[in-house]
């Protein structure tokens, strides 16, 4: 991961455990400040980004002007504000019109910081469903209001496997630039091929906004086995020591990158499955799911399901495939979270690997809290790809301004 030669600065709002900041830092941004309302998430962020000023609390109670002055920045001096404010239901005309009234105002709080700092760029990330919410009205409101605040903006839906993330995860990414024309170049081009199944609305304003590979000769996606096979073997329910030795030397570039700066494996403890799930798991081959389980062992609700439904539930991932989207808990009832060769579910570290957190990134709190932090995060490798494209655009603008000044 190549860093920018320029000291680009950023702040991260709705920061979570720091997946977005982690990836953007690898692209050359230095996080000066982060705000996160959940104390445990903020604790993990602080542990892994000790040089960043972390504010724990509700952003609605934060004075953006005081934050800017505390950081010693002039308006317009900051390079980037990034974050994932809840967006569903947002409207510049009627911000209180949906059932999620409490959350809708949070976009306005994000914009308060934008107005106060006037950064050169903004990034807003959200789920793909944002595009179809209220028939696109919410997304259009966000783009319109960014324009009113001085930012030309655009939107793309990015598929994480196209950028080296070994799971079927999609994110909607909005990027805005101040005093600079926005073009396709501000979004990253896919660098890997991967099987794609679009099950959401991908058209907005008369165009398809899913980023697609421009080359037919890209390397293949990173598989689950590529991502995990150097980690220690564990039995169901085995905790072991807090720090464990790697199973082998790095076997590929993915493992080399994620092991950089780490001498041991942490957050790698197996959750204990109940007796019924152990029985179910024995019947599921790699790549299989609940349909492989004998009917007498199925949960009552699944006995009534069609064989074509819920194809990820009680799934055992195929080692040569992509993982299910990592959620806030690796519960086999909700996805393919059985290990491909070990009779157990994914550990926090394995979920973090699939999310592309580096091994040196430590998660705090209970296992439940750790899974939540991992599942709610933006995959760092995806954030790095976004950051690298943005860095190129910002550096070009800096060079252009220097030439004009001479």
Tokens found for residue 88: 């569903």
Q: Scanning the structure block, which residue is given the tokens 């783009």? A: 143
What gap in Å lies between CA 319 and CA 229, rounded to an integer? Answer: 9
Q: Furthest-apart CA pair in the chain: how many Å?
A: 79
Q: Give me the residue label for tokens 């994914």.
A: 346
Closest Cα partner for 312 from 338, 334, 283, 297?
334
Four-residue CA torsion sign, 324, 329, 334, 336: positive
Report the side by side order of strands in the sheet with 53-56: 53-56, 29-36, 8-13, 80-83, 121-126, 170-178, 151-159
Q: Quote the CA–CA distance of 389 and 221 in Å, as a whole number.
A: 20
Q: Are 166 and 323 in contact (CB under 8 A)?
A: yes
The string of DSSP letters for 131-198 reads TTGGGGHHHHHHHHHHHHTTEEEEEEEEEGGGGT-SB--EEEEEEEEESS---GGGSPPP-SB-----
Residue tagged active-site, from 13, 38, 59, 87: 87
User: Does 330 qualify as catalytic in the annotation?
Assistant: no
Cβ neighbour number for residue 393 with a 10 Å cutoff: 20
Q: First-to-last CA distance in the chain?
A: 33
Determine phi and psi for 122, rounding to 5 degrees. Answer: -130, 145
- CA separation for the pair 170, 201 (Å, rounded): 12
The set of catalytic residues is: 87
């Amino acid at each position: 991961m190549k860093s920018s030669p320029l000291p680009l600065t950023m702040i991260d709002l709705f920061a979570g455990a720091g997946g977005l900041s982690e990836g953007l830092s690898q692209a050359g941004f230095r996080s000066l400040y982060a705000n996160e309302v959940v104390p445990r998430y903020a604790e993990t962020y602080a542990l892994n980004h000790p040089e960043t000023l972390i504010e724990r609390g509700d952003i609605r109670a934060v004075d953006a002007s005081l934050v800017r002055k505390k950081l010693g920045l002039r308006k317009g001096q900051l390079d980037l504000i990034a974050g994932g404010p809840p967006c569903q239901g947002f409207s510049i005309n009627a911000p209180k019109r949906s059932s999620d009234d409490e959350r809708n105002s949070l976009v306005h709080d994000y914009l308060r910081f934008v107005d106060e700092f006037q950064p050169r760029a903004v990034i807003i990330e959200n789920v793909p469903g944002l595009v179809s919410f209220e028939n696109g009205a919410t997304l259009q409101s966000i783009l319109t209001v960014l324009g009113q605040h001085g930012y030309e903006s655009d939107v793309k839906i990015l598929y994480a496997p196209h950028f080296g993330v070994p799971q079927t995860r999609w994110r909607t990414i909005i990027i805005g630039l101040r005093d600079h024309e926005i073009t396709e170049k501000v979004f990253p081009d896919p660098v890997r091929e991967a099987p794609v199944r679009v099950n959401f609305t991908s058209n907005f304003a008369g165009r398809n906004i899913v980023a697609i590979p421009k080359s037919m000769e890209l390397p293949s996606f990173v598989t689950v086995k590529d991502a995990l096979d150097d980690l220690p073997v564990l039995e169901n329910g085995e905790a072991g020591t807090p720090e464990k030795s790697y199973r082998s030397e790095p076997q590929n570039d993915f493992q080399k990158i994620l092991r950089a700066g780490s001498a041991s494996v942490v957050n790698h403890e197996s959750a204990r499955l109940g007796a019924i799930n152990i029985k179910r798991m024995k019947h599921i081959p790699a790549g299989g799911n609940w349909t492989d389980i004998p009917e007498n062992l199925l949960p009552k609700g699944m006995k009534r399901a069609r064989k074509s439904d819920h194809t990820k539930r009680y799934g055992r991932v195929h080692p040569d495939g992509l993982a299910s989207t990592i959620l806030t808990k690796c519960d086999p009832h909700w996805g393919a979270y059985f290990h491909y060769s070990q009779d157990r579910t994914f550990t926090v570290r394995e979920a973090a690997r699939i999310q592309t957190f580096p091994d040196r990134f430590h998660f705090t709190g209970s296992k439940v809290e750790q899974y939540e932090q991992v599942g709610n995060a933006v995959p760092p490798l995806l954030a790095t790809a976004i950051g690298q494209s943005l860095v190129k655009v910002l550096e070009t603008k800096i060079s252009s301004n220097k030439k004009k000044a001479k």
